[in-house]
Every structure is written in C-alpha cells, then in structure tokens.
A and B are shown apart, each in its own frame.
Chain A
C-alpha cells in the first residue's frame, strides 16, 4: 500500500510538472509573439528606436524564460532561439529591416515549433 501511495504521489507530481511546463511554454510564446509583432510593425513604420527597444525586451524576456524551459526542452532548440534573439538588436540598430524581419519570423517559427511539439496530439505521440 505504501508503494501505491508513493506511486500516486509521483504521478501527481509528474502531472503537475506537465501542466506547469505547458503553462510556461504558452506564457513564453504569447509574450514573445506579442513583442515580435510590435517589433515587426515598428520596423515597417521605420521606427527603429522602438524596434531596438522591443528587441531588448524580447531578449530580456527570453533570458527570463530560457532557464526554466531548459528543464523540459532540448538545448539545441533553445540555442537556436537564443542566437536569433541576440541578432535582433544588432539588426535593428543597423536598420537592416529585411534581416530583422527574417529573424523575427525565425523566432516565431521556432517558438511555434516548440509549442506544437509540447502539445498533446496524435502526431506527437506517434
């Protein structure tokens, strides 16, 4: 009976970890997605100062989430996003709008990939 109780506790812990992982990924995705939209719009309007500021915010936001995401997500995926995030500020600083937009799309693409991979789905299982 003691073992059953321990196993039940472990299952509950595993379930809570899974839920918190999903919440963490969702929150990270939503925050960065929102900031990416602002950054892209700023560049489109020629407001590079705001784009630079947003790029800085994206970087800070990403760094805040990255250490927790590392618990659940492969380091390779995280490194790719970190690299793209670090390029954003530089591109906005030098007014390289096509490259800036491309990196924004890349971050968006990678984050969507992570979000989709972590979703409970038929394709995910098999």
Chain B
C-alpha cells in the first residue's frame, strides 16, 4: 500500500514537471514542431517514465534531466530566432520541390521522398493534379506548402475586388452558466451588459448554455435544454 502511494506521489511530481516543461516550451501541435522540439518532447516523456516505473531511481535524476533539456531547448530556440545561420544548422532549411511548375527530381531523391509520397501530401492539401502546382515547398517541420498556378487558385474577396463588411470576432462570454471574464474584456462589455441582455431575454444566468457577443453588440444566446 505504501509502495503504491509512493508511486502516486512520484507520478504526481513528474506529471507537474512535464506539464510545466511543455508550458515553458510553448504551445505547439505535434505536427508544427521543429525537429529539435519533437526530439525534446519525446525525450521528456521517456525520462519522466523512468523514475515513475522504478521507485529505486531518485525523482531528482529525472527532474534534473528534464530541466536541462528544457533550458537547452529554450536557449537554442532563442539563438535560432536571433541567428539565421544557426537556425539553418539546427532546423535545416525549407526545400522547393516544385519550382515554377517544374518538379525537382534531384531534390526529391535527396529528401528520400518518393513520387507517391509527394502525391499523397498534395492530395492532403486538396491538390489532385500535380500540373496545378506552381510552387511546392517542403518546410522544416515536414509540412508541404503549396501555391497553385493562378488559373487554379480560389477566388478571394481581394481579387474579386469586393468590399466586405468589417467582420469582428464573437467572444464567448457565458459558458454553461458561468461568465467568462476574458471574453467580456475581448468584446469590450461588462457584467451589466450580460444582466441587461438576460433581463431582456427573460432568462437567468444559470439557464444560459452559451452566449457569444462581438464588439458591434451582435449576440448569440443558447439556453440550456430542459430535461
């Protein structure tokens, strides 16, 4: 029983350490990570697992390794931000696979990327015909950026020369009967606005499932479903 309790406490300590480390590293999706960041993330999870599984191993051995990795990662990303050369050494550079509609076969071989692989990545970008592509760039995080030839590009408000209304983002200000302060700030509103609106709609705060408001005062109110 004591042993189990020890495992729980150790796991808790390492869980907090790992969460703190990931927060220090910053918000990024796995797919958006640079090679170095991905390696550090995998290493942290591996290192944290050792003292959790083996109670004979001191917790500090794991924590110290995690601290060192995080500090190195933050330091290296800082240097990368300041020096393009260093960034290229650590993260590598992006590679232009299709340049002005021409596929660079030599580069494709260098990158060990087969044509079916390239076609698959293009399909994931909703491009089913390679002839439609003007430029394709393989980014350092492994994603492929595609620029279509002008005749295949989607029409935009800009090239259609339209004048759209100034669109503002709605903010969530009530969620499940609870006022979200950050949302109120974002929408430039206060609690009185919510109270007034609820009075107008003849409902109470506890009955609100969702309320969003934009800076123009446009709102969307959804009340809770009654059982």
> B178 near A: Cβ within 8 Å?
no
> B78 near A: Cβ within 8 Å?
yes
Which one, B55, B57, B68, B75, contacts A4 given CB within 8 A?
B75
**Residues A7 and B58 in contact, CB atoms below 8 Å apart:** no
**Residues A10 and B64 in contact, CB atoms below 8 Å apart:** no
**Residues B56 and A11 in contact, CB atoms below 8 Å apart:** no
Query: Known interface pairs A3-B26, A14-B64, A17-B64. Does A75 touch B56 (Cβ–Cβ under 8 Å)?
Result: yes
**Residues B64 and A3 in contact, CB atoms below 8 Å apart:** no
**Residues A71 and B26 in contact, CB atoms below 8 Å apart:** no
User: How far is B78's CA from A6's CA once the two chains are assembled, in angstroms?
Assistant: 13
> A102 near B: Cβ within 8 Å?
no
Q: How far is the CB of A65 from chain B (nearest CB, A)?
A: 14
Name the prevailing secondary structure of the B interface residues. helix
**Residues A4 and B67 in contact, CB atoms below 8 Å apart:** no
> B49 near A: Cβ within 8 Å?
no
**Residues A14 and B67 in contact, CB atoms below 8 Å apart:** yes
Which one, A7, A72, A74, contacts B70 given CB within 8 A?
A7
Query: Known interface pairs A11-B71, A17-B64. Does A4 touch B58 (Cβ–Cβ under 8 Å)?
Result: no
**Residues A7 and B56 in contact, CB atoms below 8 Å apart:** no
- Chain A, range 17-68, C-beta contacts under 8 Å to B: 17-18
- Return chain B residues, CB-CB under 8 Å to A14: 64, 67-68, 71
**Residues A3 and B60 in contact, CB atoms below 8 Å apart:** no
User: How far is B68's CA from A11's CA once the two chains are assembled, in angstroms?
Assistant: 7
Which one, A10, A11, A13, A70, contacts B58 given CB within 8 A?
A70
List the A residue with the shortest CB-CB distance to B58. Answer: A72
**Residues B24 and A6 in contact, CB atoms below 8 Å apart:** yes
Q: How far is the CB of A68 from chain B (nearest CB, A)?
A: 11
- Return chain A residues, CB-CB under 8 Å to B70: 7, 10
**Residues A74 and B57 in contact, CB atoms below 8 Å apart:** yes
**Residues B67 and A72 in contact, CB atoms below 8 Å apart:** no
**Residues B57 and A7 in contact, CB atoms below 8 Å apart:** no
> A110 near B: Cβ within 8 Å?
no
User: How far is B60's CA from A73's CA once the two chains are assembled, in angstroms?
Assistant: 9
Query: Known interface pairs A3-B26, A4-B74, A7-B74. Does A75 touch B55 (Cβ–Cβ under 8 Å)?
Result: yes
Which one, B58, B71, B75, B78, contacts A74 given CB within 8 A?
B58
Which one, A4, A8, A11, A72, contacts B60 given CB within 8 A?
A72
- Listed in ascending order, the chain B residues whose CB lies under 8 Å from chain A are 24, 26, 55-61, 64, 67-68, 70-71, 74-75, 78
- Listed in ascending order, the chain A residues whose CB lies under 8 Å from chain B are 3-4, 6-8, 10-11, 13-14, 17-18, 70-76
Other than A4-B75, A75-B55, give 14 A-B pairs with Cβ distance below 8 A: A4-B74, A7-B71, A10-B70, A11-B67, A14-B64, A14-B67, A14-B71, A71-B58, A71-B59, A72-B58, A72-B60, A74-B57, A75-B56, A75-B57
